[in-house]
Each structure stands twice: as C-alpha cells, then as structure tokens.
A and B are shown apart, each in its own frame.
Chain A
Amino acid sequence: MESSFSGGPRSLGNKRQLRIVETTYDVDRLNAARQNGLQILIITMSKNPALMLRSLLLKNKDTREIIQVSGRMVNRQYGLPPLVYSEKEWELVYQVNDYARVRKNEQNWGAYILPERVGIGERLYIADLIEDVMATAFWESVWYAADGIAEWNGTDLIIDLHEYDRFQMIG
C-alpha cells in the first residue's frame, strides 16, 4: 500500500512517438533479447531520498483522536492559514518514515532492452522506468515517475530529468 503522502505514479506519456525501450524483470526474457542481438542494460534499484516521506502520528490529548499529518504545521490552499498541531494539544505517537514508490516485489534489479540499431544521441521512451525518480510534488505529496525519456550515449540511457518540469509550468 502506498503512503498517505504518495501521489502514486505520474506519467509523461510518449507524445513525441519516440522508439520504446522495453523493461523486463525476467532473466529468460533478457537472454532471449540478447540472443536476438538486442542491447540490454541491467539496472540496480536504489532508493531515492527525494521519495522518502516523513510524517507524524499524533494523538489529541483531550479527545484521544489519532491523526497522521505531514508535520506540526500543515499548509493549506486558498490562502487559508496553516493548520497547527501544537505539542500542548497533540502528543507525538510515532514519527512515520515511508517511501513514495511501492513495488510489486522485492527484486532489486530490472533491465532495459533497447530497440534495434539505436544511434548515439537518440532519445527513447521508457514506458516502465526502473529507477526511482521524483516526477513532481504538491504540498506534502510526492509523485514518482512511472515513465521517462532518455538519451542513449552509447553506454547508458541518460534519463532527462528536465522532462518532469512539465508538471510545474511557469509563464
């Protein structure tokens, strides 16, 4: 189950109709691709600090109501004043450490299979991103990137993090 403060996955989509990198977590599929002459890249998964979520479990000293909040001061929209959960009224039960991306299994690697004859500098679409990347955030919530756009440099796929800027527009 995803954390209360995880927005879940967020996708860019393949709006430019780039060629697609296949993602696999299966060793047989990996070997089949290799035998067909396709280039493969094995990726080790690691946690991204930007996706680590911290929140507080608080208990009201009078009513004993328990709430989970992002902090003792929570910003609100529409110019409303922030909500304040003072130590006088709310006792800290637990500091919650969580992560914005939940995977279906505990396997710590995945692999990309490149399309045929990829040229250096070609931009490709990764529909299922193995790496943990923060796509965007709003107030206390964080969304992880479900997909990505990357450039092949002859050795690695370099994920273009600027692509996620589209979720925060300025102008």
Chain B
Amino acid sequence: MVLKIKNNKIYSTDGRLIKVISCPKKVRAGDFKDVSKPVFHCNQCSQDVVNTDFLSEENIIDLLKDNLDSCLSINLMNPIFEEVD
C-alpha cells in the first residue's frame, strides 16, 4: 500500500483524504537538529512532530484516525509515499 501525496494532501490507497500537510509556522526540516529521530519537538507550536520514516502506512493511518492534527515529518523519498501531479 502506498500513500499518495498531491498538493500537500495525503490520500489513502482508496483515494480517501487522510491529512492536509500544513504548518502554520512554515517550519522546514532544516530548522531542526534532531529531524532524523522518530519523534522530535517543535518549539513553534510546542508540539511533537512524528517522523514517518519510522512508521508503516497502517501506522500513519491509525495515528491520524486518533488525532487528525498530528504533526508529521514526511520524506518524499520514503517508498511508502508517492507524489502525484
């Protein structure tokens, strides 16, 4: 199963929108020293950012079911994601 990303939105394989990737503070990966850790803290919103490098597709869907506002770090080179135009 691959999660599709289009225009900053994540869709499940069946085409269901599961998350809009949007940061109100416009933070970038380069702003964090510990971006390669499974979870890292963002001081801008005092919220933890979950690094999806360590998760499966199912883990991500489950995480977002419980908390749609979970903040994610998504590497587009991760084969569980496919960026589509």
Contacts and interface: CB of A to CB of B under 8 A. Distances in A.
Interface string A124-153: 000000000000111101010000000000
Nearest to B57: A78
Interface residues of B, number: 27
Nearest to B28: A165
B30 A138 contact: no
Nearest to B5: A169
B73 A168 contact: yes
Contacts of A71: none
Contacts of A167: 75-77
B85 to A, nearest CB: 9
B53 A77 contact: yes
Most chain B CB neighbours (cut-off 10 Å) among A136, A141, A168: A168
B71 A170 contact: yes
B72 to A, nearest CB: 7
A169 B35 contact: no
A168 B74 contact: yes
A12 B55 CA distance: 26
Nearest to B81: A169
Contacts of A166: 76
Contacts of A79: 54-56, 59
A110 interface: no
Given A79-B59, A168-B29, 8 more contacts: A136-B75, A138-B78, A141-B77, A169-B72, A170-B21, A170-B49, A171-B23, A171-B71
9 contacts: A7-B77, A78-B54, A138-B53, A162-B28, A166-B76, A168-B35, A168-B76, A170-B28, A171-B21
